[in-house]
Structure 1
Amino acid sequence: MIADTRRLVETETPSSDHTAVAQGARDIVDLLNERIGAEPETIVIDGVTHVRVRFGALAPKVVLLTHQDTVWPRGTLDRIPFSAQNGLLRGPGVFDMLTGLVMSIHATSILAETGQNLEGLSILITGDEEVGSTTSSQLILEETAEAEAVLVLEAAAEGALKVARKGTSIYQVEVKGKAAHAGLEPEKGVNAGVALGMLLPQIAALAKPTLGTTVTPTVFSGGSTQNTVPDRGKVAVDVRAVTIAEQERVDQALHSLNSDVPGAAVTVHGGINRPPMPCSAAQDLFERAVSVADELGVDRPESAEVGGGSDGNFTAGAGIPTLDGMGAAGDGAHAEHEHVIIAQIPPRTALLAGMIRSVLGGSE
């Protein structure tokens, strides 16, 4: 499993590089064939490559939901090479979530080797989760529509299974002004930077911490040259909320923004991306996971409610039973210290295999 994880990590598959994601998909197809003898299909939507393998002709009863894209640009391996030392796996994407992807393949292989009937199992590996699943969200909902269990192989800090996630919304707030020479006639310009700066406190004030709602301006850009009044400025805004009502409140407020700077025009792009994942969608599956862990003699999993979103938000939001955080245990998603605890890979893979067997039915 460590060798297979290294194989995927060293391919490097940043979400924005569709060619790299396509190469990653080819590697995954080969790996599925080698480990399970499966014949996966690749599905290309708006240039993004996804991989799906179904066992049997019936609608999936259990869906293992994974993604192979990462937040790390190509070349990160030069700085953070893959390693398996001191009990930890390291490398770009090893925690989020390439080890989990490998776990899904090996859990399925374990079941196949023990004679488990895999009819009704599906593994879906998407290529754009880290950028909002804009091309894969409908595919995810179609694949899981009749599922009794969606098991999401996102990683888990300290190993806790995710039973609830906040909903996510993604925005770009743009301000258009008017350029002018900053030295000769700045009064003839409309400073988009000043206008944008005045909007930032309004945007941040939309947060309601007591309700779990965060509204965070993140990436800024604007202007052209040092001696020109900036005619454009923009900021990305990240929104997390526990309820749809809060997502809708912030959405309406952001799309109603106006500038007090004369001549400045505000345009807001984006909206609600993922609905919240409520505890109700995970409760029965979490209780099943505790029971399976007891049967296998591995540590009982803890549960956690988190702010980060995943593709499990889509399925849980649609009322489909979903348990998240079934992947690797470790820490450092999207961070320099990203790592996986090697000793936790076998028991967590066993737990995943046990969950699949429990839902599909069959001998222990």
Structure 2
Amino acid sequence: MTTATATAFTARYGGSPDGVWAAPGRINLIGEHTDYNEGYVLPAALPHTTTVAARRRADGVVRLFSAQGDGEVTELALDALAPGSVPGWAAYPAGVFWALIEAGHALGGADLAFCSDVPTGAGLSSSATLECATAIALDDLFGLGLDAPGRALIAQRAENAFVGVPCGALDQMASSCCVAGHAHFLDTRTLTGRQVPLDLPAVGLTLLVIDTKVKHDLGDGAYAGLRAGCERAAALLGVPALRDITIAELGTAEAQLPAELRPLLRHVVTEDQRVLDTVAALDAGEPRALGPILTAGHASLRDDYRVSCPETDLAVSAANAAGALGARMMGGGFGGSVLALVDTALLDTVERAVHAAFAEAGFGAPQTFTATPSQGAHRVS
């Protein structure tokens, strides 16, 4: 895709770019809706990436083009960028320019052209890839000296304050910081963690992603409402965040909350524990133990957090019935993708079963592909 991105750049702007950079989408093994509760997450980068070809400009103009867009170039004045001022997909890279300037970095204008094979609206962090690709490109172009976590926080700031989605740091940290062949165990409170080896093919296992093709929009208020509910619950319990409630304290804490907030607390506390249990299983060389953890995580997202939908529920049940060790929906919810842990020998069987179940239910055909833990954001040329 590097050549295609450079070609798209030249076709729109003339001449050659100063470089091409890539940022990957991500799967999240476990740890959903825990990041904005200062909890634990365990993502891995996908081989699917957003690439950006970029070139410095001598003026204060920013031009943005996406090969997956409407064919138009979005032109912006660097000194006129403000939250809410840029509509559509271009808000994500524009927000990175704004966040870097807000943080005190000296930037000039730039021309950027994007290409992506990360499915949009699939819970695989397509928006974060736009931000993180932009962040690493601008870091290199203008010699900002940022490290991978620093770029991730700039990208998160862009999405929170410029685009207006109050996401946690999971997606941007995953896209920026993951290492090939590993999952990234991250404490989102301290932003510290470690890389956990994840070589499933060596033990005959495969991670299967099932993109239901049901699109979601986290900017519609549902995500913000969930986060606000968690923050309200934490305030009522007198703790900085829900990650401070342990499994042992869960029953007592639930009794102190109004009925509508108890399921949110229950999901966050049990999901944090599922992350810790998953890391312990991987450290112990027992990756098959992840199966029941994934399925329990889906039940919690479906029944307590209530962010599933008929298509994701069907993908989970069909995969498990066909022999998957476990499965769960990923991402913010309201559509998107399902992750299934499958014996490699049963991969075709599980894929056929999911497609057949969708056809029988009258749903559109899902897209399936395997997930290989890959490299975080990097320069490719």
Q: Which has the higher Rg, Structure 1 or Structure 2?
A: 1
If each structure's helix is expressed as a fraction of its own residues, which one has the higher value?
2
Measured against the shorter chain, the TM-score band is under 0.3
If each structure's strand is expressed as a fraction of its own residues, which one has the higher value?
1
- TM-score (normalised: structure 2): 0.26
